[in-house]
Structure 1
């Protein structure tokens, strides 16, 4: 077993600097706050800059398929910065979950290669049609059924990234058993600014008899039988939606064995890389808290000089150091396709999820009254941390999985 590399390479540091610069310019906390109740699935201009112009959407996709040919290590760096900015973009749902699921299919098949190319170049956004809370550890039972001609019927609740997605990857039970199907809700070559046609407070329905028209945006062809019902999530920067399918036209990408493996691999990669987002979120919370306690004075001195607050921030810093090691180990194991991936992912999620929540709670509390207001971005980080704690398996679920992986009996009760 090789020793994991927990350090950042020069190329990874350069990537971090580029993404951080973009987010500082285009996605400051004030902008995220302003967009939080805007009812858009994501910021299409920011996504275009991040995914297409910088090429981060294709980091996990090989060069020959239109991607960057990078690894999970580079994707983890991007997610750290997105967590630090609580950026409202579908990177986890499209560039990680949907892309990894497609990579588990036969990439020599023309249709799969075309979809991968569209996602990798940012021409389309994808979503894996499973509840965001679904943990890794194999493919979950499908709630959608497929007919012999590929038409899909069923409902999937709480899908991240479904609103505004042009490619829906739907696990379904068909005549030949479990399969992974693709539903295209737009002509991929015509997509320019996904998400720009959303109407606040209404369900996004693909299947109207005419096409959706928006001034300055291309017409998006309708797809019968597909309705995306926006939900009200705790974290407004990561929208959730219920997906309703009624004889929706689809194309099967993989049969039973390959589909289960592809979905399971996508969930594992998503959980492992989510730890890096949680790390970035926690780092922002600690950095902002330290800055505030240096500037906020009480009794004639900075409140950060009080020993009780010093101890709380020092304890949080130690948690962050361990979280960084766990997140980097998971990313490195995924990049190397190591046999240790299940253990590394379980450790990362069991630990990093709790650290992110703790850091966000401390950020709110140590900011005092201002930390409880809507105008301060602290609440965005707390909501993202709590949402991420449930996403792709709770810490308790990952601890149970880890106990089985290392043959350690889990505590009763």
Structure 2
């Protein structure tokens, strides 16, 4: 087992970071950004097989990119499209994978809790979909399998201002069945989300460390106070643990499929809470500046909270992990 990044993965991360440094999380979905992201960098089709026009990369490579996307708070439907690509890849569905590789934004849902049923080739019910309003391809998960269909899209106010959500309703619309949802797909989605959360933790910690060096209170930089130093040390330890968990989970996705369910459950049982705690502590340590609309600290806080509950509350993942470990 080698959890260290290869030279190629470090280069991939550097290229992604350089590109994402030019993107503002406040801009929302900008089509020109995604045209460059898919055209110049080919990130939209990173895990899409080569025979479908993608790069055919592994999940460890995807984790590197998602970490940088999380650190930059990349706005728009990148994560939702990655989730859809994971489901389609596990289903072996090539037509829609080819569309994603060409830059078509996609979404998949509901990611937990259900709400939509399939009967005789039609769908009924409603659920929230990440970036549902921007997606040209909608994958619907039901107890009967995975379908594609066009429902009624109603945007909703989301906590995370960088990524929209929409309620998609189905009232008997015809749907195309793609097959039963592989259990592995949900594990891979959990790992992908954990990789983004790792990037959020890293960026939140880096921001408050830099702020602690320049913010002066009572004649001293706030980073010199014991209460701040201890908090930053705790955050650094959390980051180190989070990185180990994500690297291991991504490795299992590529190399040890039998270990993936446990690694995926662990990744969400730990990363969800750790990411939100890091963003919350960063917000608080920024003091008053962290509560202003102009500062990005509150955006990291909102992304962290949204990610924490995206796949359901952490107790679900802790219970799954306990079952897998026979505790």
Same structural fold, with TM-score higher than 0.5 when normalized by the shorter chain:
yes
* Counterpart pick for 1:113 among 94, 99, 103: 94
Q: 1:76 and 2:63 equivalent? A: yes
Q: Distance in 1 between matches of 2:299 and 2:168?
A: 25
8 Å contact kept, 1:333–1:344: yes
Q: Does 1:232 align with 2:157?
A: yes
Measured after TM superposition, the shift of residue 91 of structure 1 is 2.1
Contact 2:273 / 2:314 at 8 angstroms: preserved in 1? yes
Q: 1:86 aligns with which of 43, 67, 73?
A: 73
Query: Could you tell me which residue of structure 1 aligns to residue 31 of structure 2?
Result: 44
State the match for 2:148 in structure 1: 182
1:267 counterpart = 2:186:
yes
* Contact kept in structure 2, 1:267 and 1:392, CA below 8 Å: no
Asked if 1:104 corresponds to 2:23, the answer is no
CA distance in 2, matches of 1:81, 1:16: 7
**For residues 366 and 402 of structure 1, what CA distance do their matches in structure 2 show?**
33
Deviations 1:45-91 (A, max 9, x none): 22221123211111212111211011111111111011101111322
Structure 1 residue 245, shift from structure 2 partner: 2.1
Q: Secondary structure at the match of 1:277?
A: helix
Indicate which of 222, 239, 245 corresponds to 2:170.
245
Scaled by the length of structure 1, what TM-score is found? 0.76
Q: Distance in 2 between matches of 1:87 and 1:378?
A: 15
Distance in 2 (alpha carbons) for counterparts of 1:87 and 1:141: 27
CA contact (8 A) 1:6 1:328 kept: yes
Instruction: Indicate the residue corresponding to 1:10 in structure 2.
Output: 7
Query: 1:368 & 1:32 partners in 2: Cα distance?
Result: 21
Separation in 2, partners of 1:166, 1:293: 44
- Separation of aligned partners in 2, 1:142 and 1:297: 51
Contact 2:123-2:175 at 8 Å conserved across structures:
no
For the pair 1:171 / 2:134, whether they are aligned, the reply is no
Higher helix share: 2
1:58 match: secondary structure: coil
Tell me by how many angstroms 1:302 deviates: 1.1
Contact 1:162 1:240 in 2 (8 A): yes
Cα distance in 2 for partners of 1:54, 1:404 equals 40
* C-alpha separation in 1, matches of 2:310 and 2:31: 23
CA displacement, residues 20-46 of structure 1 (integer Å, 9 cap, x when unaligned):
111112x1xxx323x36xxxxx22222
Q: CA separation in 2, counterparts of 1:65 and 1:331?
A: 22
Which of 116, 124, 135 is 1:143 aligned to?
A: 116
Q: Is the 8 A contact 1:234 1:387 kept in 2?
A: yes
Distance 2:142 2:71 in 1: 35
- Consecutive unaligned residues in structure 2, runs of 5 or more: none
Superposed CA RMSD in Å reads 1.7
What is the count of residue pairs matched by the alignment? 327
State the shift of 1:394 in Å. Answer: 2.4
